[in-house]
Amino acid sequence: MIPNLSYSGGFYSISLKVSLIFILVTGLIAYFLLFHTDRIIKFLRLDRGFDSDNIDIGSLKNDGLFKFALIFIGLLLVVDNIPQFLNFCYLAFKKQVSSTGLDEVDGFMLEQQLDYNWWIVSALNVLMGIIILTNYRRIANLFLKKEKNVG
**Rounded to an integer, what distance in angstroms lies between the CA atom of residue 87 and that of residue 126?**
13
Tell whether the torsion through CA atoms of 83, 87, 88 and 90 is positive or negative: positive
| Residue bearing the bigger pLDDT, 105 or 142 | 142
Summarised one tens digit per residue, pLDDT across range 22-39 is 999 999 999 999 999 989
Span 92-116, pLDDT tens digits: 887 777 766 656 545 554 556 667 8
Distance CA 85, CA 117 (A): 11
Model pTM above 0.75: no
